């Protein structure tokens, strides 16, 4: 079956993935001479940097999601399809998707990256990833539900297993989750669960390198450690989780921690779509691309964002897998595709690092700008401001702003709701 | 196993259900001389009158939910337990719950009512109920997902099955869902799905009595019909759905309608907890209570809200199952329980009908007050105002207000997101 999209005189660009890379590319190519097909398994764009706030009951998922269709109301050359891509056929130049076969003239792979469990099946099965709003919501529900069960659990060890949390990975996500949990333990839980002894709740953050926020400055790493320790998070550096049996987390040095909840933010691996040649796959399951985001060895196939591996003079081991790279690559590729259509020369990509930041708690954040590094209250306001203005949709921005002001003023994450979707998601097959 | 709640000198009142009846009763009994145990299967109170807006992507579930724990921060005689009640043992005067056995001195049954499928298993299995936010979210996801699939469905009949919707029951919920769907078809869908012919979308509202909004005034019924017809809803009166095979809705008069989605708002039945004597059960699975909300024939067992069946001079067939009755009964029962503790006389219940209302669409609502009936724009503003101020929590009120202003100004339900909870809800057994 062919996918139901009109064949026109326009060359067709198919974009797989509506994340920072794919979404921005589609926006920039709207009103271009191409026909654009944007395929994602969800009908929304996700603002990944705030997943942790959804997990911590500070924001509703909808505030950081944006419906894809709404973004392209005014562009009649953009077609959105909510589908799974099953494989790429480079010879026939088409994709197999859950909605049928989709041919392309140009293909942009912007599938991003997924959680890397480093091959440990037991961890993959039991730990909580943080790579989608669904993951975040599921974690939120489990944390809240476990506190409820803990209230009725008289046995000390069993109760510890329910209330203690182990976070693996000291990058921005790990640090932000640990900080938010510590704030919740301090400000919200004693009011919600006066029957629990909140001092019994242990929050562990485990990081195998000797510093937190690897990739940021030494000052940022040191301050993040200081802030987290000040909030009572047990930070364990230079150690690694080797196993998790559902009851105990086993560390490389032989020690173990009793906890039923392990949040896994320890690494990512490229979300490859089957069908790409082995030779184009680089370290971390990323696709090797040249400076024009063109996948090496295949014609008119591009990769941008977390899935792309591009070597630059200053980045001999590839770019960091962050939103800024994705956004900048989307912008350049859009330019180049338009240049191509107009018969103009193509421009090579070079990454402009605008800096990086992470938030730890109330008035506690760390910011590294290219020429200025600062931490604390001002950094926190900068973090809030930058994130607020990066969210897509003015309604979303307003709702997030209100939630933040509210949480700040009342020391309260108000969304402590365990919402279950009642019926299982039924897949309906209509046409075959 | 006993539930983990301290035994004190206080008499214990156990309330089953945190809806309008149970939630308001617990609030009024906080700071009373009793120990209060509030048991609900969810950790939140739900504002049922706006479920339909959640289903129609106009509001987020969290805006109409309120965390139970937050409501009782300041009261140390109130214990909240998120649990299922399995049965009532009247002799031993205790409940069996999923968290263990809970004894009581007084028991208040406020379990409300659930969807009544009138014994038709096939309908129960396939139709969409509207009695919880989970139901509403599931319906929202299905409607949106079906539009996505419809885009790729070339066969006309199969496509009709996906986009047409049948609503059964012309009470407030049915009327409100039908109206909201019609507004969405007019204002949102043509922009979101320019590839679909939105005039092909049929919305049916089926009601077996000869008028809509039975129980309201003739003017209200007539105007609701006029408003809905004006919005293009196909209203079918004096007819009944007798079967639904997943493809076709079969009517009593032998006709059938092709549709895969049937929203069932045709009636409710009391949510009984096993263990109550047969003799105390009245029509509609409700519990017979006297004018003091005491269940007939059993001592210190009360029922309030939708589950209670009380005959009054003016209501010889029991009260309507609406929020106002629940709230007023909660208030009276709280008074009486306090009077009892103080050795004062008890007061009998009598219902003060404050009026009823329903909304159909933009600036289209019907309002029946005891001495004044009106319809149209002013009624719509009254409806908005009353509902806004009935929502619990000022943050919720603010968020709902913003969403309403937004939707009104931009003709846009912004929450068109298909959010799936990834992992199945895992039940963890910790102590046995």
Say how far apart CA B415 and CA B192 lie, in whole Å: 12
pLDDT confidence of B411, banded at 50, 70, 90? confident
pLDDT computed for residue A419 by the predictor: 73
B103 by Cβ neighbours in 10 Å (0-12 / 13-18 / 19+) ranks as middle
Residue in chain A nearest B65 by alpha carbon: A417
pLDDT computed for residue B249 by the predictor: 95
Say how far apart CA A213 and CA A218 lie, in whole Å: 9
Name which of B61, B195, B422 is nearest A134 (Cβ-Cβ): B422
pLDDT computed for residue A429 by the predictor: 31
Q: Which residues of A touch B406 (CB under 8 A)?
A: 395
Q: Do A235 and A225 touch, CB atoms closer than 8 A?
A: yes
What DSSP state is assigned to residue B301?
Answer: E
pLDDT confidence of B414, banded at 50, 70, 90? low
Q: Which residues of A touch B76 (CB under 8 A)?
A: 194
Per the listing, tokens 């309260």 go with A412
Whether residue B137 and residue A60 make contact (CB cut-off 8 A), yes or no, is no
Residue in chain A nearest B79 by alpha carbon: A195
The helix (H) or strand (E) run that includes residue B114 is strand B113-115
Q: Do A138 and A128 touch, CB atoms closer than 8 A?
A: yes
Whether residue A134 and residue B421 make contact (CB cut-off 8 A), yes or no, is yes
Q: Which residues of B touch A153 (CB under 8 A)?
A: 4, 430-431
What 3-state class would DSSP assign to A66? strand
Catalytic residue among A60, A176, A195, A311: A176
Say how far apart CA A41 and CA A18 lie, in whole Å: 9
User: Cα–chain-centroid distance for residue B194?
Assistant: 34
B21 lies within 8 A of chain A by CB: no
Whether residue A76 and residue B138 make contact (CB cut-off 8 A), yes or no, is no
Per the listing, tokens 């069946």 go with B309
Q: Which tokens is A260 given?
A: 């039923």
Query: How many CA atoms lie within 13 Å of B85's alpha carbon, on the beta-carbon side?
Result: 28
Q: For domain B121-266, which CATH number applies: 1.20.272.10, 3.40.50.920, 3.50.50.60, 3.50.50.100?
A: 3.50.50.100
Residue in chain A nearest B160 by alpha carbon: A430
Per the listing, tokens 């097909």 go with A37
Residue in chain A nearest B190 by alpha carbon: A73
Whether residue B195 and residue A399 make contact (CB cut-off 8 A), yes or no, is no
Query: Nearest Cα to B86, choosing from B94, B78, B76, B96?
Result: B96
The helix (H) or strand (E) run that includes residue B82 is strand B78-82
Query: Nearest Cα to B357, choosing from B329, B381, B325, B338?
Result: B381
Query: Nearest Cα to A266, choosing from A306, A325, A207, A221?
Result: A207
**β-bridge pairing A65-67 and A78-82:** unpaired
Dihedral sign (CA A53, A57, A58, A63) = positive
Catalytic residue among B7, B176, B247, B312: B176
Name which of B69, B99, B412 is nearest A152 (Cβ-Cβ): B99
**Would the pLDDT of B412 be above 90?**
no
Q: How many CB pairs under 8 A join A and B?
A: 177
B399 lies within 8 A of chain A by CB: yes
What 3-state class would DSSP assign to B168? strand
Whether residue A414 and residue B79 make contact (CB cut-off 8 A), yes or no, is no
Comparing A203-212, A412-421, B359-368, B418-427, the range with the smallest average pLDDT is B418-427
Q: Which residues pair with A234 in a beta bridge?
A: A204
pLDDT confidence of B11, banded at 50, 70, 90? very high
pLDDT computed for residue B421 by the predictor: 57
Strands (E) in A363-403, as ranges, are: 364-369, 372-376
- Within this chain, domains B12-115+269-341 and B121-266 share the same CATH topology: yes
B176 is catalytic: yes
Whether residue B195 and residue A398 make contact (CB cut-off 8 A), yes or no, is no
Buried b (16+ CB within 10 A) or exposed e, A192-218: bbeebebeebbbbbbbbeebbbeebbe
Name which of B4, B395, B417 is nearest A151 (Cβ-Cβ): B4
**β-bridge pairing B286-288 and B281-282:** antiparallel
CATH superfamily of B12-115+269-341: FAD/NAD(P)-binding domain (3.50.50.60)
pLDDT along chain A (432 residues), means of 10: 92 97 97 96 94 90 91 92 96 95 97 93 92 89 92 91 95 95 91 91 96 95 97 96 94 94 94 95 96 95 98 95 96 97 96 95 94 96 94 88 87 72 37 28
- Name the residue ranges covered by the structural domains of chain A: 12-115+269-341, 121-266
Q: What is the pTM of this model?
A: 0.91
A98 lies within 8 A of chain B by CB: no
A431 lies within 8 A of chain B by CB: yes
Say how far apart CA B319 and CA A46 lie, in whole Å: 47
Is this complex's ipTM strictly greater than 0.85?
Answer: yes
What 3-state class would DSSP assign to B103? strand
Q: Which residues of B touch A424 (CB under 8 A)?
A: 424
pLDDT in tens, B12-61: 999 999 999 999 999 999 989 999 999 999 999 999 999 999 999 889 88
Query: Best-predicted range by mean pLDDT among A281-290, A415-424, B114-123, B147-156?
Result: A281-290
Neighbours of A168 (CB within 10 A): 25
- For chain B, the average pLDDT equals 92
- Report H helices in B81-155: 121-126, 133-151
Per the listing, tokens 């009327």 go with B175
What DSSP state is assigned to residue B119?
Answer: T
Q: Which residues of B touch A415 (CB under 8 A)?
A: 62
Query: Nearest Cα to B184, choosing from B137, B145, B231?
Result: B231
Chosen from A153, A407, A417, A424 to mutate, greatest number of chain B CBs within 10 A? A417
pLDDT confidence of B233, banded at 50, 70, 90? very high
Buried b (16+ CB within 10 A) or exposed e, B178-197: bbbbbbbbebbbeebbeebe
**Would the pLDDT of B1 be above 90?**
no
The helix (H) or strand (E) run that includes residue A214 is none
């Amino acid at each position: 079956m062919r996918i139901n999209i009109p064949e026109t005189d326009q060359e067709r660009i198919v974009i797989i993935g509506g994340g920072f890379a794919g979404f921005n590319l589609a926006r920039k190519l709207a009103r271009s001479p191409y026909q654009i097909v944007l395929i994602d398994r969800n009908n929304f764009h996700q603002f990944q940097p705030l997943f942790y706030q959804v997990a911590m009951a500070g924001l509703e998922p909808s505030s950081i999601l944006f419906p894809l269709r709404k973004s392209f109301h005014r562009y009649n050359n953009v077609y959105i399809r909510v589908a799974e891509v099953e494989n790429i056929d480079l010879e026939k130049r088409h994709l197999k998707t859950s909605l049928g076969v989709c041919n392309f003239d140009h293909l942009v792979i912007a599938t991003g990256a997924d959680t890397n469990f480093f091959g440990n099946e037991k961890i993959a099965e039991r730990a909580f990833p943080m790579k989608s709003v669904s993951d975040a919501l599921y974690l939120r529900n489990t944390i809240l539900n476990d506190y409820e069960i803990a209230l009725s659990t008289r046995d000390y060890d069993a109760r510890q297993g329910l209330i203690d949390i182990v976070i693996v990975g000291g990058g921005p996500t790990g640090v932000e989750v640990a900080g938010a949990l510590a704030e919740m333990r301090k400000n919200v839980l004693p009011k919600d669960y006066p029957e629990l002894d909140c001092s019994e709740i242990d929050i562990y953050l485990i990081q195998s390198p000797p510093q937190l926020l690897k990739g940021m400055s030494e000052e940022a790493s040191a301050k993040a450690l200081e802030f987290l320790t000040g909030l009572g998070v047990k930070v364990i550096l230079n150690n690694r989780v080797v196993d998790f049996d559902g009851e105990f987390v086993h560390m490389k040095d032989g020690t173990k921690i009793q906890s039923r909840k392990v949040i896994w933010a320890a690494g990512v691996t490229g979300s490859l779509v089957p069908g790409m040649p082995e030779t184009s796959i680089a370290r971390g399951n990323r696709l090797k691309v040249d400076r024009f985001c063109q996948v090496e060895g295949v014609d008119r196939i591009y990769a941008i964002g977390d899935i792309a591996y591009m070597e630059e003079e200053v980045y001999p081991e590839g770019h960091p897998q962050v939103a800024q790279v994705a956004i900048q690559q989307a912008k350049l590729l859009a330019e180049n595709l338009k240049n191509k259509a107009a018969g103009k020369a193509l421009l090579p990509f070079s990454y402009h690092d605008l800096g990086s930041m992470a938030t730890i708690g109330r008035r506690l954040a760390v910011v590294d700008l290219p020429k200025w590094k600062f931490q604390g209250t001002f950094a926190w306001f900068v973090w809030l401001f930058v994130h607020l203005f990066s969210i897509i949709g003015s309604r979303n921005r307003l709702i997030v702003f209100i939630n933040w002001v509210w949480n700040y003023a009342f020391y309260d994450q108000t969304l402590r709701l365990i919402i279950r979707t009642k019926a299982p998601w039924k897949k309906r097959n209509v046409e075959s």
